[in-house]
Amino acid sequence: MKLDQLKKYKKILILGYGKEGQATERFLKKFVPMAELGIADKKISDNYLDEQQKYDLIIRSPGISKNLITKPYTTASNIFLANIDNVVIGVTGTKGKSTTVSLIYSVLKQAGKSVHLIGNIGKPMLDEMLKPIGKEDIFVCEFSSYQLDDIEYSPHISVILDLFPEHMNYHGDVKNYYNAKKNIITRVAADDYFIYNPKFAELKSWAKNSHCKNIPFEQNIPIRDEDIPLIGKHNRENIKASITVAHLLDIDDVTIIKAIKEFRPLPHRLQLIGKFKEITFYDDAISTTPQSTILAIESLKNIGTIFLGGTDRGYDFNKMVEVIIDYKIPNIVLFPESGDVILKIIKSKKAEYLRIFNTKSMEEAVKFAYKYTPQNKICLLSNASPSYSLWKNFEEKGDLFQSLVKKYNR
């Protein structure tokens, strides 16, 4: 929504008061000072949705479904994209978004560009509009499916990394989830760009039918394997996406290579914690799907203990259990709720010889890992499920895991 349209509303409700909702409040106080503002959030009242009836316009925060909105509404993402004339590089996909936007940001920064890292990575878009913006400034923005569900504008450069089923509780089914991702390119202009991973048939089909310039990921990585600081095949795809964007912006390989070599992996994404008592510990707390845990297993291989389970979102864990059996991972820690589902599949595959430990306690899980993980093997936290059954978010879970690993090393 354009700013002049926004100013026509006299009573505006911010629905959801997390990071983005708070940034929206700051934005409105500066640019729409005459409007009466309201805030509604589940943490404030169980009946927070009823507040909508008192207002002319709702600004929906990402975690609240559009299906719950009963009045005219917009979103922070739509306000940002409607009112920014600079180049915006929008990145989405099921996994790898934060790593990829951080890589792109690092490469552009290395090239001397004035670049801003924003969006779902934790830096609200509207906060950027409170600061001076130069004509040459570039915005690298991570978009979640929640933000794209009702997006009305497309970035100048859209990047889609991959597609796996996720967030079924929010979107209802895979089709709706994929359509939300596709929305990033539904309003492209002829001179916009769609950069996509050609390994996904769905993305190739979208490219074929889009109305902009389509560019598949470049397949050549101009850097030696030993100089790549990220583990796993999936991170190679993230690097390919970053290189493709960089080349589109005429950044040379020398600059790209330097930026990638100096890049440091983000926390909780196959993060090496260290080797303690001859066991190597990795934190992959970001893993919320079976597919991401499979990628972690295939990347590390030498795993002696794996931590699985969390909020049950109805995922199919059969393939993941087969991979665990194939890689001969002997020790399994299972957390509720999806841990119960995983256990049933393990039993159905006659794999009861695996040592299984059911627990609600990260502390007890770490003690188990120290006791049973064979020397010179890996203990991997990669739950294949969201964290909310026991923890506030994946960061809290990963931080707790790391602190307990170090505590019991003494």
Q: In terms of domains, do 95 and 65 share one? A: no
In the predicted model, is pLDDT for residue 410 greater than 90? Answer: no
Q: In terms of domains, do 231 and 287 share one? A: no
Q: In terms of domains, do 32 and 68 share one? A: yes
In the predicted model, is pLDDT for residue 353 greater than 90? Answer: no
Q: In terms of domains, do 256 and 142 share one? A: yes
Could you tell me if 125 and 101 are in contact, meaning their C-beta atoms sit under 8 angstroms apart? Answer: no
* Residues spanned by the domain of 144: 84-262
Rounded to whole angstroms, the Cα distance separating 131 from 167 reads 33
Q: In terms of domains, do 40 and 122 share one? A: no
In the predicted model, is pLDDT for residue 135 greater than 90? Answer: yes
Q: In terms of domains, do 52 and 88 share one? A: no
Tokens matching residue 389: 């059954």
List the CATH number of the domain containing 309. Answer: 3.90.190.20
Could you tell me if 119 and 159 are in contact, meaning their C-beta atoms sit under 8 angstroms apart? Answer: no
Residue 251, SS3 per DSSP: coil
Share of the chain above pLDDT 70, in %: 100
List the CATH number of the domain containing 49. Answer: 3.40.50.720
Each residue of 269-285: pLDDT tens digit? 999 999 999 999 999 99
Q: In terms of domains, do 255 and 280 share one? A: no
Q: Of the residues 48, 75, 102, which one is the last residue of a structural domain?
A: 75
Q: What is the pTM (predicted TM-score) of this model?
A: 0.94
Rounded to whole angstroms, the Cα distance separating 256 from 222 reads 8
Rounded to whole angstroms, the Cα distance separating 393 from 389 reads 9
Q: In terms of domains, do 100 and 65 share one? A: no
Average pLDDT over all residues of the chain: 96
Residue 143, SS3 per DSSP: coil
Torsions phi, psi of 329, nearest 5? -80, 115
Rounded to whole angstroms, the Cα distance separating 72 from 74 reads 7
List the CATH number of the domain containing 153. Answer: 3.40.1190.10
Closest by CA to 384, choosing from 331, 325, 319, is 319
Torsions phi, psi of 38, nearest 5? -130, 155
Each residue of 141-200: pLDDT tens digit? 999 999 999 999 999 999 999 999 888 788 889 999 999 999 999 999 999 999 999 999
Q: Of the residues 262, 288, 322, which one is the last residue of a structural domain?
A: 262
How many angstroms separate the Cα of 297 from the Cα of each of 37, 113, 311?
A: 48, 37, 20
In the predicted model, is pLDDT for residue 375 greater than 90? Answer: yes
Q: In the chain, what are the helix, strand and coil shares in percent, each to the nearest 5?
A: 40, 20, 40
**Does the CA dihedral 403-405-407-410 come out positive or negative?**
negative
Rounded to whole angstroms, the Cα distance separating 373 from 331 reads 7
Total number of domains constituting the chain: 3
> N- to C-terminal Cα distance for the chain?
56
Provide mean pLDDT across the span 24-37: 98
Q: Got the DSSP string for 329-384? A: --EEEE-TTHHHHHHHHHHHTT-TTSEEEE-S-HHHHHHHHHHHSPTTEEEEE--S
Q: In terms of domains, do 335 and 249 share one? A: no
Q: In terms of domains, do 350 and 228 share one? A: no
Rounded to whole angstroms, the Cα distance separating 240 from 253 reads 12
Share of the chain above pLDDT 90, in %: 96
Interhelix angle for 394-407 vs 362-372, to 10°?
50
Which run of H or of E encompasses 102?
A: helix 97-110
Q: In terms of domains, do 94 and 134 share one? A: yes
How many angstroms separate the Cα of 200 from the Cα of each of 237, 245, 291?
A: 12, 18, 14
Q: In terms of domains, do 284 and 352 share one? A: yes
Query: 122 pLDDT band (50/70/90 cuts)?
Result: confident
Q: Of the residues 51, 75, 99, which one is the last residue of a structural domain?
A: 75
pLDDT at 352: 78
Encode 32-55: b = buried (16+ Cβ within 10 Å), e = exposed. Answer: beebebebbbeeeeeebbebbeeb
Provide mean pLDDT across the span 252-262: 97
For residue 176, how many other CB atoms are within 10 A of its CB?
Answer: 14
Report the largest interatomic distance among the alpha carbons of the chain, rounded to a whole angstrom: 68
Rounded to whole angstroms, the Cα distance separating 137 from 117 reads 11
Q: Strand 271-276 and strand 279-283: pairing?
A: antiparallel
